[in-house]
Structure 1
Amino acid sequence: MRQRGFSIIEIVVTIAVLALLLFAAMPSLGTWLDNTRIRNVADSLQNGLQLARGEAVRRNQNVSFWLVEVNDPSQLTNDCTLSGSSGSWVVSVNSPISHCADAPSIISSPMIVTGRAVGDAGGRVSVAAVQADGATAGTTVTFNGFGRIANTDPIQKIDVTGTATGVTYRNLRIAITSAGQVRMCDPAVSDANDPRKCPAE
Structure 2
Amino acid sequence: MSAADVQRSPTAMLGAAPGNRRRGFTLIELMVTITVLAILLTVAVPSFDGIRLSNRLTSYATDLVTGSQLARTEAIKRNTSVTMCVSADGTGCSTSGGWETGWIVLSGTTVIQRHPAAAAGYKLTEAGGTTSLTFEATGVGASQATFTICRASPSVGGQERVVKISATGRAAITRTALGTCA
Q: 2:37 aligns with which of 11, 15, 18?
A: 18
Q: Which runs of 4+ in 1 moved over 4 A?
A: none
CA distance in structure 1 between the partners assigned to 2:92 and 2:34 by the alignment? 50
CA distance in structure 2 between the partners assigned to 1:85 and 1:68 by the alignment? 8
- The answer to whether 1:140 aligns with 2:127 is no
- The answer to whether 1:159 aligns with 2:158 is no
CA distance in structure 2 between the partners assigned to 1:5 and 1:89 by the alignment? 60
CA distance in structure 2 between the partners assigned to 1:7 and 1:36 by the alignment? 42
Q: Which has the larger radius of gyration?
A: 2
Q: Larger deviation: 138-147 or 6-15?
A: 6-15
Contact 2:72–2:135 (8 Å) recurs in 1: yes
Q: Which runs of 5+ in 2 are unaligned?
A: 1-14, 17-21
CA root-mean-square deviation = 2.5
2:119 counterpart residue number: 122
- 1:64 Cα deviation from its structure 2 partner: 0.6
Deviations 1:43-70 (A, max 9, x none): 1111111111111111111101012235
CA distance in structure 2 between the partners assigned to 1:4 and 1:87 by the alignment? 61
2:112 counterpart residue number: 113
Corresponding letter in the other structure for 2:152: T
Please give the secondary structure, in 1, of the residue aligned with 2:87: strand
Deviations 1:152-199 (A, max 9, x none): xx451111012334641331111111222222223459xxxxxxxxxx
Contact 2:144–2:165 (8 Å) recurs in 1: yes
Please give the secondary structure, in 2, of the residue aligned with 1:128: strand
Q: 2:162 aligns with which of 170, 173, 184?
A: 173
- The answer to whether 1:149 aligns with 2:133 is no
Q: Which structure dedicates a bigger proportion of its chain to helix?
A: 2
Change (3 A) 1:188 1:7: closer
- The answer to whether 1:81 aligns with 2:94 is yes
Q: How many residues align?
A: 158
CA distance in structure 1 between the partners assigned to 2:71 and 2:92 by the alignment? 22
Contact 2:82–2:134 (8 Å) recurs in 1: yes
Identity over aligned residues, as a percent? Answer: 27
- The answer to whether 1:184 aligns with 2:176 is no
Please give the secondary structure, in 2, of the residue aligned with 1:179: coil
